[in-house]
């Protein structure tokens, strides 16, 4: 082989050796950016599914409640109740009553003229007839969705079904699984949405990245222009190219691993909520003076399909941040009713304490959920205690309103983990509370020389001043129990008495304690 040919071959191989890694880096950087955007869009689509389920449930609950209202239709009381449900239900714009197929009155008063019922596009599994698009008399330019149950209907702004916070430039669309478009956010093209719904779960179409999520009743599509990621891809390439093929491959692997680790917990939690993987364990609460079991705290546990349990501190913060805590709390309520219905009916002095999230304390969303769950069970509201941590009292006025409503319904209300937040005596005095639970961290300091050991008697004295029942959490030694009993603390909860246990074990424990009393 002559020298020129050797030089040419060497140059070609050198060029290939330089070009191939560069081309690979260009390709990998683009693939990585698109994958990350698809995952993020899929998250938005799943949030839209969850938002739609909540809006439909809220509207359905309001329709069923007004259907049960015992009053003459279109009377002042009936119209006032429709108005109240409209105001209190975030998803509803207006509620109306139809007689003989014509609108007779709405939540704003009696009607004149002859507004006929619209033909539904489909009917949900709960028997609610849905008209995806109708133009109200007041505003023909803004179509609303109509939901009808028996002789009542509600009008819902379709935006409520996609009421999700997204990044600028991100578009959302929600449709039924039959392809009927219900609502959009940031104006996606309807023709493109129709094509995407009928196609794969994620991809690139007409210059737009998209990802879909499918629920029991809905299909959600999140999309954004392809140009949204051009700048980030360009910057990533400039960083990757000088590092070479090996470092670039390592960096891509690391980014993929980190992104999956960041998103995977939320995806798993969403699946767990959808598949109802949450169970409840019950930790007994005993009367310190008699040793009698007077109730239990319902503690949520996440049981994976393999049987392993996930600690609440590993998923509750994520659930609260993502808004999934509402669905988890609803499952806890359902479990309590299913697990302990017969026991609670047979033992009227027994109560179960359910923890409320800060969002539920602020919005009172959970109260109608509990009220509905207790219907026809024989369980009395006073047998369901509601516990709220100090984090739920950031908006003190909203919290007070929720607690007042809870007590009006018959529930007792306790402040949980007291001493770990920022509640002051003035705050407590202004809140309608029945009990105060001393956090375990303060119980642990009893009979020690800890700097915070003197705080516990002050908390006890403060609770007595406010005439609140006192529950000591985390009691683990007899010395702690004796100390609390000497200071007239009412109740104790902790491993000294019993660990949290499944429903069957708690029922057996309670019956055994009752027989030995």
**102: helix, strand or coil:** strand
User: pLDDT tens for residues 29-39?
Assistant: 666 777 777 78
User: What value, to the nearest 5°, has the Cα angle with vertex 468 and ends 466 and 417?
Assistant: 105
- pLDDT score, position 279: 95
- Closest to 319 measured CA to CA, from 335, 302, 336: 302
248, 240 in Cβ contact below 8 A? yes
In angstroms, the CA 43 to CA 267 distance is 8
60-98 residue pLDDT tens: 999 999 999 988 999 999 999 999 999 998 889 899 999
- The H or E element spanning position 177 is none
**Residue 321: pLDDT above 80?**
yes
* pLDDT exceeds 50 at position 293: yes
Cα–Cα distance measured from residue 510 to residue 394, given in angstroms and rounded to the nearest whole number: 36
Which residues, in sequence order, are bridge partners of residue 214?
219
Three-class SS of 125-145: CCCCEEEEEECCCCCCCCCEE
Structure-model confidence comparison of residues 345 and 139, the more confident one: 345
Mean per-residue pLDDT over the chain, rounded: 82
Q: What are phi and psi of 96, to 5 degrees?
A: -140, 165
Most confident listed range (108-112, 163-167, 452-456): 108-112
CB atoms within 10 A of CB 43: 20
Who has greater pLDDT, 145 or 194?
Answer: 145
300: nearest Cα among 290, 288, 284, 311: 311
Give the pLDDT score at 258.
43
pLDDT (0 to 100) of residue 140:
59
CA distances from 353 to 242, 262, 312 (A): 60, 33, 16
Which of 190, 229, 186 shows the shortest CA–CA distance to 207? 229
pLDDT recorded at residue 359: 92
Percentage of the chain exceeding pLDDT 70: 81
What residues are paired with 153 via a beta bridge?
A: 96, 148
User: Does the pLDDT value for residue 470 go beyond 90?
Assistant: yes
Mean pLDDT of the 463-480 span? 93
Is residue 221 very low, low, confident or very high in pLDDT (cuts 50, 70, 90)? confident
Check pLDDT > 90 for residue 508: yes
Quick check: 254 pLDDT over 90? Answer: no
Question: What secondary structure does DSSP assign to 17-29, as a single string?
Answer: HHHHHHHHHHHHH
Give the CB-side neighbour count of residue 332, counting CA atoms within 13 A: 26
Does pLDDT of 199 surpass 50? Answer: yes
**Lowest pLDDT segment from 42-46, 217-221, 227-231, 500-504:** 227-231
Quote the tokens at residue 142: 């803004």
pLDDT of residue 452: 60
Residue 52, pLDDT > 90, answer no
Q: Which domains does the chain have, with CATH numbers?
A: 1-262 (no CATH), 265-516 (3.20.20.450)
């Amino acid at each position: 082989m002559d020298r020129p040919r050797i030089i040419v071959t060497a140059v070609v191989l050198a060029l290939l050796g330089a070009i191939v890694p560069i081309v690979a880096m260009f390709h990998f950087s683009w693939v990585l950016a698109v994958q990350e955007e698809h995952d993020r869009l899929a998250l938005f689509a799943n949030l839209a599914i969850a938002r739609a389920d909540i809006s439909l449930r809220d509207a359905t609950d309001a329709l069923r409640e007004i259907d049960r209202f015992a009053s003459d239709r279109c009377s002042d009381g009936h119209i006032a109740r429709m108005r109240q449900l409209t105001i209190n239900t975030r998803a509803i714009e207006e509620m109306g009553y139809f007689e003989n197929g014509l609108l007779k009155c709405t939540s704003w008063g009696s009607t004149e003229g002859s507004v006929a019922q619209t033909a539904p596009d489909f009917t949900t599994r709960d028997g609610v007839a849905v008209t995806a698009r109708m133009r109200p008399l007041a505003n023909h330019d803004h179509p609303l969705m109509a939901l009808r149950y028996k002789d009542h209907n509600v009008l819902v702004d379709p935006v409520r079904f996609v009421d999700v916070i997204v990044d600028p430039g991100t578009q959302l669309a929600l449709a039924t699984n039959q392809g009927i478009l219900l609502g959009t956010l940031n104006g996606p093209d309807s023709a493109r949405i129709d094509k995407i719904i009928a196609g794969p779960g994620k991809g690139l179409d007409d210059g737009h990245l998209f990802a879909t999520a499918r629920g029991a009743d809905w299909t959600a599509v999140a999309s954004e222009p392809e140009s949204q990621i051009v700048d980030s891809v360009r910057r990533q390439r400039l960083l990757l190219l000088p590092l070479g093929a090996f470092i670039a491959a390592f960096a891509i692997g690391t980014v993929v691993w980190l992104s999956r680790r960041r998103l995977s917990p939320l995806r798993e939690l969403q699946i767990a909520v959808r598949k109802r993987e949450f169970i409840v364990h019950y930790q007994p609460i005993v009367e310190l003076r008699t040793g009698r079991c007077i109730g239990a705290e319902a503690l949520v546990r996440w049981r994976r399909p393999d049987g392993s349990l996930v600690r609440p501190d590993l998923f509750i913060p994520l659930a609260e941040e993502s808004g999934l805590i509402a669905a988890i709390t609803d499952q806890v309520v359902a479990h309590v009713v299913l697990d302990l219905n017969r026991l609670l009916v047979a033992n009227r002095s027994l109560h179960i304490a359910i923890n409320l999230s800060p969002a539920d304390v602020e919005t009172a969303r959970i109260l109608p959920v509990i009220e509905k769950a207790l219907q026809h069970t024989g369980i009395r509201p006073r047998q369901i205690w509601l516990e709220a941590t100090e984090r739920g009292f950031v908006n003190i006025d909203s919290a007070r309103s929720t607690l007042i409503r809870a007590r009006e319904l018959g529930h007792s209300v306790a402040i949980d983990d007291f001493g770990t937040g920022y509640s002051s005596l003035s705050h407590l005095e202004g809140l309608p509370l029945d009990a105060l639970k001393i956090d375990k961290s303060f119980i642990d300091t009893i009979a020690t020389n800890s700097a915070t050991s003197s705080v516990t008697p002050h908390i006890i004295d403060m609770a007595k001043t406010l005439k609140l029942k006192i529950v000591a959490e985390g009691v683990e030694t007899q010395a702690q129990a004796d100390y609390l009993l000497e200071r007239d603390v009412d109740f104790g909860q902790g491993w000294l008495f019993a660990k949290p246990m499944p429903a069957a074990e708690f029922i057996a424990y309670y019956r055994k304690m009752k027989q030995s009393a």
